[in-house]
Amino acid sequence: MNDYPATHEGRTQLVLGIETSCDETAAAVVARTADGQGRILSSVVRSQWEQHRPYGGVVPEIAARAHVECLDEIIADALREAGIDFSDLSAVAATGGPGLIGGVLVGLTEAKAIALVHDLPFIAANHLEAHALTPGLTEDLKPPYLLLLVSGGHTQLLLIEDVGRYVRLGTTIDDALGEAFDKTAKLLGLPQPGGPSVEKAAHGGRADRFNLPRPMLGRPEPHFSFAGLKTAVRLAAQAAAPLDDQGVADLCASFEQAVVDAVVDRTRTALRIARTRAAADVLVVAGGVAANQRLRGGLAELAARESVRLSIPPIALCTDNAAMVAWAGAEHLARNNTNALDFAARARWPLDADATPVIGSGRLGTKA
C-alpha cells in the first residue's frame, strides 16, 4: 500500500471516480492535496467500440450492458494500480449526467453502493463540469478561463468563473461537432469512431477542392451549427460520385477545414465577450474532438493572435475518462459539496441552468 497522508479535512483527499455516460467504462483514483494540487494515481478506460462498430454508432442498450459486465473489474484495477483499497478513500464520485441514461444509471448505482458499504461521501459529477475542470488537475490552472468543449454529444463555449460558476456563451443549435465527424465518416464509408477516421483520410487530401459552407460565420452570438455542413458534404459526395480514395481524402480535408474556420471564428467571438466579463486570458479546449490536429493548429493560431494562452489536456484526458470525474468530485468534496444517495440520473444537465434556451426545451430540459 502507498503511504499517503490520512485522508481527512486539511489533508490529502483520495477520490475514486467512475465514468459510464456513453461508450467508455472507466474508473480512476485522484489525489487532491490541501492546497489544491492534483495527481492521477490510476486511470483505467475500456472502450466498447468493437461492440458498437457493426451498427455504425453507439447503441444505448449495448452500452449499458457492457458497463455492467466490466465495471467491477475496472474499479478493482484502478484501486490496484493506485496501490490502495476502499478504506483509503475519502469519497466516491460518478457521472450523474448528462449522458445515455442507462449507462449513467450503471455508474451511479455502483458508486452509491460503494459509498453506502464503505461509509464514504458520494458526489454526482456533471460530465461537462468534469471536462471543464480538468486543467486544474493537469496543470493547476485556476479560473477564470474560456472553455471550448467539443465532443460527440456537446459543443459549447463556457466562461468558467469558478468551481460551480459557469456562464454559457455559445452552444450548438443542432448537431454536436463529434456527431458531425461521425456522420461524415459513415457517409463516406469510413470506420467508426468517425473523428480519427476523417482525420486520417484528410492527411492526404486537398482542403480547397470542395467549396463547403462555414456555418454561423461572423454572427454576434458565438453559437454553432453543423447540420447544414453535413448536408453539404453529402451533396458534394453525390455530385462527385463515384468517389475514389483521393476524392474521399479531399472531401475529408475540405470538411475539416470548414470545421476549423467555423470553430475558430465562433471561439474568437466568445473570447472577446469573455474578456468583457472576466480576466479570461486562457483558452481551454476539451472533449474528444480536441484531439484533431488541424483544429488544434487553428486554435493555436487564434490564441497567438488574441494574446491568450492555449491549454489542451493530454489526449487521454480529452476523451471520456474517470480521472476528470474523480477530480470534479475532489473539488466539490474540498468545498463540502456532496450528494445524497437518492440523487437521480440525468440525461440532460446543463452547466449554466439559467441560460436562455436557444431553441427551446422539452420534457428532459433545455435542448440547446
Task: Determine the Cα–Cα distance for residues 21 and 18; give it in Å rounded to an integer.
Answer: 9
Question: What are the CA-CA distances from residue 175 to residues 27, 152, 168 (Å)?
Answer: 29, 9, 17
Task: Determine the Cα–Cα distance for residues 316 and 322; give it in Å rounded to an integer.
Answer: 11
Stretch 137-148: mean pLDDT: 95
Task: Determine the Cα–Cα distance for residues 321 and 271; give it in Å rounded to an integer.
Answer: 27
Stretch 136-157: mean pLDDT: 93
* Nine cell digits for residue 177: 461537432
Task: Determine the Cα–Cα distance for residues 266 and 220; give it in Å rounded to an integer.
Answer: 9
Percentage with pLDDT > 70 across the chain: 91
Task: Determine the Cα–Cα distance for residues 321 and 329; give it in Å rounded to an integer.
Answer: 13
Q: Among 280, 330, 325, which residue's Cα sits nearest to residue 35?
A: 330
Cβ neighbours around 89 below 10 Å, total? 21
Model confidence band, residue 185 (pLDDT cutoffs 50, 70, 90) = very high
Q: Are 261 and 214 in contact (CB under 8 A)?
A: yes
> What is the pLDDT of the chain when averaged over all its residues?
91
pLDDT score for 3: 46
Stretch 334-361: mean pLDDT: 85
Stretch 299-328: mean pLDDT: 95
The ranges assigned to domains in the chain are 13-134+318-353, 143-315
Say which range, 171-175, 189-193, 205-209, has the weakest mean pLDDT: 189-193
Angle (CA) 330-168-354 rounded to 5° is 90
Stretch 155-182: mean pLDDT: 94
Q: Which residues pair with 17 in a beta bridge?
A: 28, 93
91 sits in which H/E element: strand 91-97
* Nine cell digits for residue 196: 480519427
Q: What is the CATH number of domain 13-134+318-353?
A: 3.30.420.40
* Per-residue H/E/C for 307-368: CCEEECCCHHHHCCCCHHHHHHHHHHHHCCCCCCCCCCCCCCCCCCCCCCCCCCEECCEECC
Cβ neighbours around 51 below 10 Å, total? 15
Q: Are 44 and 28 in contact (CB under 8 A)?
A: yes
DSSP code per residue over 136-190:
HHHH---S-EEEEEESSS-EEEEEEEETTEEEEEEEBSS--HHHHHHHHHHHTTP
Fold of 143-315: Nucleotidyltransferase; domain 5 (3.30.420)
* Nine cell digits for residue 298: 487553428
pLDDT score for 357: 67
Beta strands 282-286; 309-311: pairing state? parallel
Contacts of 132 (CB under 8 A, 6+ apart): 147, 149, 158, 160, 166, 284, 286, 351
Stretch 51-55: mean pLDDT: 67
Model confidence band, residue 300 (pLDDT cutoffs 50, 70, 90) = very high
Model confidence band, residue 6 (pLDDT cutoffs 50, 70, 90) = very low
Same fold, 13-134+318-353 and 143-315: yes
Say which range, 49-53, 228-232, 307-311, 338-342, has the weakest mean pLDDT: 49-53
Q: Which bin fits 315, alpha (ψ -120 to 50), beta or left (φ > 0)?
A: alpha
